[in-house]
Amino acid sequence: MPTYNGDEVNALVLDVGSMWTRAGFAGEESPYAYFPTSVGYMIDSDSESSKNNKKAPEQNPTIESNNENAEKNDSMDVDTETNKNEKSTNDSEKSDTRLKYYVGNSGISLFRPGMEVKNVLADGMVDDWDAYEKILDYALYDQLRINPEEHPIMVSEASWNSAEKREKLTELMFEKFKCPGFYVCKSAVLTAFGTGKSTALVVDSGADFSSAVPVYDGYVLQKGIVRQNLGGNVISDLIVDYLKEEQNYQITPLFEIKRKERVEVGKQPIFDRRDLGGITDSFRNYMIRQTVLEYKESVCQVLEYPYDENTASSRGNKSFEFPDGFSLVLGSRRFYEPEVMFQPNLFFNKDRTRIGKNLENMNTDKNDENINGNQNMNNNTNLERKKDAHEYMSIQELAYRAVSKCDVDLRPHLLHNVVLTGGNTLFPGFTERFSNELPKLCQSSRVRIHTPGSTIDRRYTAWLGGSILASLGTFHQMWISSEEYQEQGTSIVNKRCF
């Protein structure tokens, strides 16, 4: 095994999340690259590019690479003139059809006739290995502009990732990218390290799911993991439903708009639609979600206490204009949809059906009741995943259940080190609300909530933990070297990486 000393390691850290991917150099305070985990893809009618397979040179963002050890011949083509981040692969396992991939903000957001969009992860784990490989290609070659053969690489993973997927990732890193050293670490552990803790209850609420993962002395307590597929996408669906059912408005994404006129607040938009052919449902839904994401970041908040319309109305109004010119001034409503994280029973029945949207139906005395739900309210492919093993429950109930599954002696340590992370926790008021709700369920223990110092830090907490860990001198002996991989095979990852 090679010896890594000090700054000579120059390790890379990759954190592929359910919505965003972060990549950068160990020892840095923030990732160098930050781009969507979703990819665009379409059938590539040009087969000539498969003849040009070259090894990727160092420091060259416009490259072609060839995996010589794979059974199939994968090539990556990049448009050097337009920098469209186009990537192609030959999926011989299914057919001879070649797919061209588009990765990155500019690559995926530009309309192309026939282009589909999909997320490479499902339930936090890799669902499409070809697309995942293109994400890594883009991060390493196009963004970091390095030769992975010269850098050990740390990759984050879901705390519930399977042994089979870990082994497949190990094979990919050594066989395709030929990195000299590799390590995979659970994201909850990295999040804890990113906040300076080795023991913590990591409560993560992102786009696809929310989870509560107990970490003790740097190790995940598997029996305490509780997760459910209630996350930011559900909030987005609720917002889309509100606009459609109560405002009689359906979002038109920006790429479809040719011209628009100014209209009064609340009036239906007047605009001309571009004459486009080949718009796929998946691309259109992805672009609609980007608009809803902007809406959430601009106007949505969480009340510090259970939703009350009078209290919410007293917090002032905020306005938002959609791409087609339709605009709203929102008062109490901007606090309503995020309430699903704390009171899912206001939105879902126990038979996984939606209840009425009338605010008068709310009962704040039942905010901790466990409720079933189903967020598959539109055709977005990100929401096509398995039914969760747990009922829909409030985020505070999620955390409480995770702690309750751990040994009694450990519970005070976990409750004293609760760490919030994930995009949903960035809603103004989320931390304060969670700090008020969790102690109600843990009255016999002292609860202390920790969050990174800024919203920017909270977006990168897991990556930052990896940056810290991979740069420590004491961690150098933990890397899986290429020599060890050749000797022991992929199974070494389950022996070395806990």
Would you give per-residue pLDDT tens digits along the chain (498 residues)? 455 544 456 999 999 999 999 999 999 999 999 999 999 999 987 754 444 443 443 333 322 333 333 333 333 333 323 334 444 444 334 456 789 999 999 999 999 999 999 999 999 999 999 999 999 999 999 999 999 999 999 999 999 999 999 999 999 999 999 999 999 999 999 999 999 999 999 999 999 999 999 999 999 999 999 999 999 999 999 999 999 999 999 999 999 999 999 999 999 999 999 999 999 999 999 999 999 999 999 999 999 999 999 999 999 999 999 999 999 999 999 999 999 999 999 998 776 577 764 444 433 333 333 322 333 333 332 333 334 434 689 999 999 999 999 999 999 999 999 999 999 999 999 999 999 999 999 988 999 999 877 776 788 999 999 999 999 989 999 999 999 999 999 999 999 998
Is there a single domain that holds both residue 430 and residue 464?
Answer: no
Q: Helix, strand, coil % (nearest 5) of the chain?
A: 35, 20, 45
**DSSP secondary structure string, 310-329?**
HHHHTT--EEEE-TTS-EEE
Is there a single domain that holds both residue 484 and residue 444?
Answer: no
- Asked if the structure places residue 283 within a domain, the reply is yes
pLDDT of residue 320: 98
Is there a single domain that holds both residue 492 and residue 404?
Answer: no
Is there a single domain that holds both residue 29 and residue 130?
Answer: yes
Domain final residue pick, 414, 429, 451:
451
Is there a single domain that holds both residue 403 and residue 276?
Answer: yes
307 to 96, 151, 227, 302, 349: CA distances (angstroms): 55, 50, 24, 8, 18
Is there a single domain that holds both residue 237 and residue 311?
Answer: yes
- What tokens were used for 28? 């840095």
Residue 389 burial (CB < 10 Å; 0-12/13-18/19+)?
Answer: exposed
Distance of CA 61 to the CA centre of its chain: 25
pLDDT of residue 176: 98
Is there a single domain that holds both residue 444 and residue 476?
Answer: no
Angstrom distance (rounded) from CA 415 to CA 395: 14
Number of continuous H segments (helices) and E segments (strands) in the chain? 14, 22
- Residue-wise pLDDT tens digits, 92-118: 344 567 899 999 999 999 999 999 999
CB atoms within 10 A of CB 181: 25
Is there a single domain that holds both residue 352 and residue 465?
Answer: no
Angstrom distance (rounded) from CA 1 to CA 272: 64
Is there a single domain that holds both residue 409 and residue 469?
Answer: no
- Asked if the structure places residue 80 within a domain, the reply is no
- Asked if the structure places residue 200 within a domain, the reply is no
- Asked if the structure places residue 133 within a domain, the reply is yes
Is there a single domain that holds both residue 470 and residue 420?
Answer: no
- Asked if the structure places residue 217 within a domain, the reply is no
- Asked if the structure places residue 414 within a domain, the reply is yes
Q: Residue 411 carries which DSSP code? A: H
- Asked if the structure places residue 29 within a domain, the reply is yes
Do you know the residue count of the chain?
A: 498
- Residue-wise pLDDT tens digits, 220-232: 999 999 999 999 9
Is there a single domain that holds both residue 161 and residue 185?
Answer: yes
- Asked if the structure places residue 94 within a domain, the reply is no
User: Which structural domain range is residue 18 located in?
Assistant: 6-74+122-189+458-496
Is there a single domain that holds both residue 262 and residue 296?
Answer: yes
Residue from 399, 475, 497 nearest 156 by CA? 497
CATH number of the domain within which 272 lies: 3.90.640.10
CB 125 within 8 A of CB 161: yes
3-class secondary-structure state, position 69: coil
> pTM of the entire structure?
0.84
Please tell me the total count of domains within the chain: 2
CATH number of the domain within which 30 lies: 3.30.420.40
Residue from 111, 373, 367 nearest 237 by CA? 373
- What tokens were used for 228? 């459910």
